[in-house]
Amino acid sequence: MVKEPSWLIYAKKLQAIAQAGLAYSKDKYDIERFEEIRDISVDILKNYTDIEHKKIEELFANENGYPTPKVDVRAAIFQDKKILLVKEKIDGFWSLPGGWADVDLSLKENIIKEAREEAGVEIIPKRIISILDRKKHNDPPMPYGIYKIFVQCDFIDMKFEKNIETSSAIFFAEGDLPALSTSRNTEEQIKMCFSAKEKEYHETIFD
């Protein structure tokens, strides 16, 4: 299990306190204090990572309202005992089709959208394999909480087309996996999907 460094835990807690405080405070002095706490959380990240200060502010300090985890959806699509992976342009490694969930779409709609956009595949989402807390399973550490939802899907048809996110989409056997984009999915998570596929009844895994 992946363990977050203490400095990141503290930074995320400070940011969450600041975000909630800014969402509900009315007193101008309280607002000023919470803004200072948020600035401290940004400075911690700036001093412990290589992320640009502006990017940290965009990712970490621009959230409004009560702080909640982001949602990352991943489609486990099978054909002939192989799983579909896409090659990510951003790092050249392979992952299950997926990404951030759009706020105006349901889980099922998000999974269908991501599979179509990244792999040119038409699917039917069937069941939730797992809902995982990313910080316990994937590196590198992220400055916010993320729930990763893996959904088993039935394959219908496929016609891969060029897109801005992926360069290829191929089915792989469990024993012949390519180099994975481990920030998106680990070998253990891919094998978890294969294991679920073999079961008539699968009990959803969650942290």
Beta strands per DSSP E along the chain: 70-79, 82-88, 94-95, 98-100, 121-133, 146-158, 166-172, 205-206
pLDDT at 180: 98
pLDDT at 81: 94
pLDDT at 59: 67
Does the domain made of 70-206 have the CATH classification 3.40.250.10? no
d(CA 114, CA 127): 16
Q: What's the pTM value of the predicted model, to 2 decimals?
A: 0.82
pLDDT along the chain (207 residues), means of 10: 85 90 91 91 85 72 82 97 97 97 96 98 98 94 90 97 96 98 97 97 96
Q: Where are the domains of the chain?
A: 6-60, 70-206
**Residue at token pair 């009315």:** 26
pLDDT at 142: 82
Contacts of 84 (CB under 8 A, 6+ apart): 75, 77, 78, 96, 97, 119, 121, 155, 158, 169, 170, 171, 172
pLDDT at 144: 81
pLDDT at 8: 87
